[in-house]
Amino acid sequence: MAPTPSSTSSAVTLNINGEKHQLTVDHRTTLLDALRERLDLTGTKKGCDQGQCGACTVLVDGRRAVSCLNLAVAAEGREITTIEGMADGDRLHPVQQAFLDLDGYQCGYCTPGQICSAIAVIEEHAAGWPSAATEDVRPEAGPPPLTPDEIRERMSGNLCRCGAYVSIVQAVTRAAEAHEAAAVRDGDGGLSAETVKETAA
Amino acid sequence: MTTATTGRTTARGAVGTAHTRVEGRDKVTGAARYAGEIPFADLAHGWLVLSTVARGRVRAIDTEPVLAMPGVLAVLHHGNAPRVETDYVGLLGMAPDPTAAVFQQDRVPHAGWPVALVVAETPEQAREAAEALVVAYDEEPHDTELTTGHPGAHPAGGVMPGETAKGDLTAGLAASAVVVDEEYTTPEEHHSMMEPHAATARWDGGRLEVVDSNQGTTWIQSELASMFSLDASAVRVRSEHIGGGFGSKGLRAHQVAAVMAATQLQRPVRVVMTRRQMFSLAGYRSPTVQRVRLGADADGRLRALEHRSLNQTSTVYEFVEPSAGVARVMYDAAAHHTANEVTPLDVPSPTFMRAPGEAPGSFAIESALDELAERCGVDPIELRLRNEPEVGPVSGLPFSSRNLEACFREGARRFGWAGRDPRPGVRRDGRWLLGTGTAAASFHSGAGPSTALVTAEADGTFTVRIAAADIGTGARTALTLVAADALEVAPERVRVRIGDSDFGPAMIAGGSMGTRSWAWAITAAAAELRERLALGADIPAEGITVRSDTTEALGRLAQKERHSFGAQFAEVAVDPATGEVRVRRMLGIFAAGRIVNPLTARNQLVGGMVWGISMALHEEAVRDRASGALYAPDLAGYHVATNADVGDVQADWVDDPDPDDPVGIKGVGEIGVVGAAAAVANAVRHATGVRHRNLPIRPDRVLAAGVPATGGGTDA
Amino acid sequence: MREFGYQRADDVSGAVALLAADPDARFLGGGTNLVDLMKTGVERPARLVDVRELPLDGIEETPDGGLRIGATVTNSDLAAHPEVRRRYPALAQAVLAGASGQLRNMATVGGNLLQRTRCGYFTDLSKPCNKRAPGSGCPAITGEHHNHAVLGASDHCVAVHPSDMGVALAAFDAVVGYETLEGPGRLPLADFYLPVGDTPHRETALPPGALITGVTLPPAPVAARSRYRKVRERASYAFAIGSVAAALDIEDGVVREARLAFGAVASRPWRARAAEAVLTGAPADGETFAAAADAELAAVRPLPDNGYKVTLMRNLVVAVLTELAGEAAR
């Protein structure tokens, strides 16, 4: 049941996967619940609702974030990308394709979060961000290669209780290599998901 | 109308070749809908209220202020909920856990017991009202601590006899050149599947429909029918995609509460457990206290073996974690005694959790064998091979197949076991001490009666309908391959529909028996369908459907010891300065029947091994003695392995088709976790010289145990 | 979660005024801790003042060669910033060791400083807790406390501060800037967190209604050779059970300057000044490092199940300082 605007609820416009959605949200409603319960975008999963599992990962202004700790009212004005917005029509995002081909999941419940996270991991790495697995974080050390250990650390905010981590790392590795090859070919940083999509096929 | 053809149009069988999941695209795009994601018009939301005391009675529930809150529709509790039937034996041959039969009495047998359900128009309103509901208790002193020699402990059966005994244990131990006599403990562990339990119930034209996340739709259908005194045909349970189960997704409080509320309000009601609620409502693996006594000749041949395991249960339901069952399959001795004991405490009811019995039991006995090997100066693999039994140590029955030795030989070769220096604490890599360990694994292989419907469609495709559950196992895909081979068509022409009780009775996804049971039923139906089609009849618009039932065929199976086997290998690194333990690599080689889909089977076996890593190093639910409730029951307080905890983990198999199964399947769901924690613990011993007999091997325990300066060894 | 009002602040003075208008209001930053605490019922604000959009998201060099970090800079941007990584590598490492990539993208510097303990009694309304409900007792002391404080705790509370970032900030003498209705103020991190005493519910010295506007790091050449090491119960995505931020300046085998701070051992990031005193002017060798650790850990008051932390911290200090000394020698 949709609330009407009041002191404890607000009319907001949420920009999700390039589409604007107008709705009135109870201020208590998280972005996660707004997606799942109000907008029928159930690809974003609720695993813990406490920021402790990563299943609800989406991109907010291009960066990965847990939607369970984002309030919907505070998400107004931001560009939200969910798992439903990753494929280009029928053509899967290279990360989605790699998860499918390499069986980077089992039950599939953490999968949308893993994929959103992986897409961001590839971008973060391409942007030169170090991680806790990076031996030397000083800029003069240069960007760390995206080794399995780097991927494991960067993907650790997404729990997979089925224990599909080994194939998840393989999938991210494959997608990252494709991304890098595309970036080299395009002669730019190739940082956007758009770039990845265009070079998918 | 067309004439469907089956026949040898495919060059080779689909079974045994890697196939990506048939529902994979839906899962990677977010299109796959799980139980809490199916939209219903006029949906109301229920929120469970759990007791905050560990023992006592509900004195009063002050519903009035809550009913006055915005959007609140109802508050169900023991004072107003309908009575349900609990005096029945369910599909698995067990009585229902009264925890699921909510709101039947005022007694509170544990912290986190469901005392009320608040139903409101929105989840936010339901949550706030549930939190605002004031429940008064008459509190009583509680006992929640499992201790050695607990006065309530008694031998107990369950899925197997409580005790077995042959030979004179005392004499056997006395005559042994080498004796190991140690206690091993494992903590309370939680399934923690990623998808919380969720159910939506509604009445639809006199029929109860429940959309749920469970491991068997006809199982839940029959339980709800029994509980609400309905004809089974008046209940339909659907569960298409399931975000993990691991034994926990059976009948639980949320489905029953949802049915009660939907009945009272006559509108659809959804009840979803919160992550914190799952820690007291979803079952768990009991902690175990295990004593293993081994007596052997100097060459490591066992003369005496005793394995006793104690677990806790609730005061309302007896669940046995049959850890002492492992030795009944794995190792023989002239004196051979095993006992599973249980003691009731003021705690939630434990339940099946991936490899119940085998997971904790193998930790104890495979650690003890490692200790024995060390004391005998025999290689741990050689020690196990010297103790390979000819027949079931307790049953005396022959093994259907027992390819444990092949697993060890292949595993040792690939892991690089040969030439391993057995001395502990002598390998270093920077700040890390390195060690390797091994352990054996076994898991029962069985099948349960199932029915399947296979339809030859008019368009030349085939539809399989079976109330199977794909909880992440890849069952939907495996059954597609099995059906394709049975029909002798390409998998692309087969559509498998699962997760609907309307498809007829079928085995649950449990006991590593799901895929085997369902494949059997599909194979039988497909065979009959092919016979029918071979007659060359035209296919009508509604298709030609054949139904199978495997009950009789399973009843004709000869009594044998039927198991999967495996050899686990682990290499660990331990920082003695910080107590950190990392599993660098793991290899498991399994003899687990015919592998239907190598892609998903390997993933599942590796997943089991990851569970072993997690069990060995991380998982422990801590019960607060004062309150009797869990401490920090969430995914930050209860650690499961992250991606960074999992190094190079590989699984593979040896050829091991089951001779008595139509497809040759044994089952791969659980064997991967068995022995994995022991292999890690044995590797930690090899790395540091310290034997850890209490899981998990956390940094505080590693540090508290210290590390011997050189060689030698100590006990943690 | 109770219903609440929500307003987005446009500027700092507006944010402070909005908060002052409602005694039950809270500032909302990244929400990674506050929203979680609202779900568990620990926090029940009547109004949230969203400060994420405030123009406090810059990292600038100060004229004296330090860095000024805005309060709404995300953990991710802080850790990725080249000057942070160059001048204070331990700070980047500390931030990267915390939480997950998703949470670091959301969490802000200001919020990180104000995050609450993850003690399982504090976050569970069904249990007593002096920090959450003053006077109700501290069940951790006789209950589960294997990850609780060994330094600076009291009989009223033994919870630890969960921040990694704060440990590095403590080592580098960070100064917290804030704004109130009365104007701006500054608090050195050393004075920012209050001693536990018998008021564990009072955690910081910030005046009521104050909004953290940023953190200033004074120039610290010593920090260029610094390191953060965190030990936790799994390899990632977990709070520390012990951590060390350390910096060493060594000349001719003698420690010229040392910075040392501990995490997950006290109610606040623990600046190890006693250890620093031992280190300064002493030979940069294992003996000195062990003596320094012992000097700091002389004040420990371990509980029955967290005594391992004393061993852990001693070993960590020696290990991290030895590594830094090794780098200096290269």
What is the distance, to the nearest Å, from the Cα of residue B495 to the centroid of all Cα atoms in its chain? 28
pLDDT classification of A138: cutoffs 50, 70, 90:
very high
Q: Are C71 and C213 in contact (CB under 8 A)?
A: yes
**The two three-digit tokens of residue B113, written as one number:** 């017991």
> C300 pairs with which residues across the strands?
none
Please tell me which residue, A188 or B359, carries the higher pLDDT value. B359
In a domain, A76, yes or no: yes
Residues A59 and A113 occupy one common structural domain: no
Is domain B399-445+562-715 given the CATH code 3.10.50.40 in the classification? no
Thinking of the domain C223-329, which architecture would CATH place it in? 2-Layer Sandwich (3.30)
Chain B residues lying within 8 Å of A152, measured CB to CB: 643-644, 646
pLDDT of residue B90: 87
Interface contact flag, A137 C92, Cβ < 8 Å: yes
Region class of B167: left (phi > 0), else alpha (psi between -120 and 50), else beta: left
Lowest mean pLDDT among A195-199, B372-376, B383-387, B486-490: A195-199
Mean local confidence (pLDDT), A106-123: 98
> Nearest CA to CA, how far is A16 from chain B (Å)?
15
Residues A65 and A102 occupy one common structural domain: no
Chain C residues lying within 8 Å of A60, measured CB to CB: 105-106
Interface test with B, best of C116, C121, C233 (most B CBs within 10 A): C233
Mean local confidence (pLDDT), C301-324: 98
Residues A128 and A186 occupy one common structural domain: yes
pLDDT of residue A4: 74
Please determine, for residue B716, whether its predicted confidence score (pLDDT) is greater than 80: no
Is domain C5-50 given the CATH code 3.30.43.10 in the classification? yes
Domain covering B24-32+447-555, topology: Aldehyde Oxidoreductase; domain 4 (3.30.365)
pLDDT averaged over every residue in chain B: 96
Measure CB to CB from residue A162 to each of B274, B472, B644 and give the nearest one.
Answer: B472
Q: Are B379 and B368 in contact (CB under 8 A)?
A: no
CATH assignment of the domain containing A115: 1.10.150.120
Residue of chain C with shortest Cα separation from A8: C5
Rounded to an integer, what distance in angstroms lies between the CA atom of residue B526 and that of residue B487?
6
**The two three-digit tokens of residue C128, written as one number:** 């007593």
pLDDT of residue B712: 53
Mean local confidence (pLDDT), B453-461: 97
Rounded to 5°, angle at Cα C177 from C172 and C180 = 160
pLDDT of residue B708: 67
Rounded to an integer, what distance in angstroms lies between the CA atom of residue B264 and that of residue B230?
16
Chain C residues lying within 8 Å of A11, measured CB to CB: none
Mean local confidence (pLDDT), B118-135: 97
Residues A42 and A63 occupy one common structural domain: yes
Chain A residues lying within 8 Å of C6, measured CB to CB: 10, 27, 71, 73-74
Domain covering B41-351, topology: Aldehyde Oxidoreductase; domain 4 (3.30.365)
Residues A61 and A149 occupy one common structural domain: no
Please determine, for residue B4, whether its predicted confidence score (pLDDT) is greater than 50: no
Q: Are B564 and B668 in contact (CB under 8 A)?
A: yes
Residue B228: C-alpha distances to residues A131, B64, B85, B105, B536 (Å): 55, 28, 6, 16, 47
State whether residue A94 sits within 8 Å of chain B by CB: no
In a domain, A148, yes or no: yes
Interface contact flag, A74 C50, Cβ < 8 Å: yes
Residues A30 and A77 occupy one common structural domain: yes
pLDDT averaged over every residue in chain C: 97
Please determine, for residue B211, whether its predicted confidence score (pLDDT) is greater than 90: yes
pLDDT digit string, tens, across residues B301-318: 999 999 999 999 999 999
Residue B59: Cβ within 10 Å count:
11
Residues A194 and A101 occupy one common structural domain: yes
Rounded to an integer, what distance in angstroms lies between the CA atom of residue B299 and that of residue B285?
36
Rounded to an integer, what distance in angstroms lies between the CA atom of residue B562 and that of residue B442?
10
Q: Do domains B41-351 and B399-445+562-715 have the same CATH topology?
A: yes
pLDDT of residue A196: 36
The ranges assigned to domains in chain C are 5-50, 223-329
pLDDT digit string, tens, across residues B657-690: 999 999 999 999 999 999 999 999 999 999 999 9
User: Residues of chain C whose C-beta is under 8 A from some C-beta in B?
Assistant: 1-3, 40-41, 118, 120-121, 123-124, 126-127, 139, 142-144, 146, 231, 233-239, 241-242, 305-309, 311-312, 315-316, 318-319
Q: Final residue of a domain: which of A84, A116, A148?
A: A84
Rounded to an integer, what distance in angstroms lies between the CA atom of residue B590 and that of residue B605?
9
Closest C-alpha to A88, from A199, A197, A201: A197
State whether residue A168 sits within 8 Å of chain B by CB: yes
Measure CB to CB from residue A28 to each of C1, C101, C237 and give the nearest one.
Answer: C1
pLDDT classification of B710: cutoffs 50, 70, 90:
very low
* Torsion angles phi and psi, residue B419, rounded to 5: 80, 10
Please tell me which residue, A183 or B532, carries the higher pLDDT value. B532
Please determine, for residue A167, whether its predicted confidence score (pLDDT) is greater than 60: yes
Domain count, chain A: 2
State whether residue A117 sits within 8 Å of chain C by CB: yes
Residues A54 and A144 occupy one common structural domain: no
Residue of chain B with shortest Cα separation from A96: B28
- Against a cut of 0.95, is the pTM above it? yes
Instruction: Please tell me whether the interface predicted TM-score (ipTM) of this complex is above 0.95.
Output: yes
Mean local confidence (pLDDT), B204-226: 97
Point out the catalytic residue in the list B188, B318, B561, B670: B670
- As a whole-number percent, the residues of chain B with pLDDT over 90 amount to 95
As to burial, measured by CB atoms within 10 angstroms (0-12 exposed, 13-18 middle, 19+ buried), residue C238 is: buried
Please determine, for residue C43, whether its predicted confidence score (pLDDT) is greater than 60: yes
pLDDT of residue B562: 97
Residues A161 and A190 occupy one common structural domain: yes
pLDDT classification of B2: cutoffs 50, 70, 90:
very low
- Annotation says B131 is catalytic: no
DSSP string, A96-116: HHHHHHTT--SS-SSHHHHHH
Q: What is the 3-state secondary structure (H, E, C) of chain C?
A: CCCCEEEECCCHHHHHHHHHCCCCEEEECCCCCHHHHHHHCCCCCCEEEECCCCCCCCEEECCCCCEEEECCCEHHHHHHCHHHHHHCHHHHHHHHCCCCHHHHHHCEHHHHHHCCCCCCCCCCCCCCCCCCCCCCCCCCCCCCCCCCCCCCCECCECCCCCCCHHHHHHHCCCEEEEEECCEEEEEEHHHHECCCCCCCCCCECCCCCCEEEEEEECCCHHHHCEEEEEEECCCCCCCEEEEEEEEEEEECCEEEEEEEEEECCCCCCEECHHHHHHHCCCECCHHHHHHHHHHHHCCCCCCCCCCHHHHHHHHHHHHHHHHHHHHHHC
pLDDT digit string, tens, across residues C100-156: 999 999 999 999 999 999 999 999 999 999 999 999 999 999 999 999 999 999 999
Interface test with A, best of B37, B131, B194 (most A CBs within 10 A): B194
Mean local confidence (pLDDT), C78-106: 98
pLDDT of residue B12: 65
In a domain, A127, yes or no: yes
pLDDT of residue B92: 79
pLDDT of residue B711: 46
Mean local confidence (pLDDT), B559-582: 98
The ranges assigned to domains in chain B are 24-32+447-555, 41-351, 399-445+562-715
pLDDT of residue B709: 54
Mean local confidence (pLDDT), B99-103: 96
Q: Which domain holds residue A102?
A: 94-198
SS3 B274: coil
Measure CB to CB from residue A42 to each of B37, B242, B641 and give the nearest one.
Answer: B37
pLDDT of residue B672: 98
pLDDT digit string, tens, across residues B242-264: 999 999 999 999 999 999 999 99
Interface test with A, best of B21, B27, B639 (most A CBs within 10 A): B27
pLDDT digit string, tens, across residues B374-404: 999 999 999 999 999 999 999 999 999 999 9
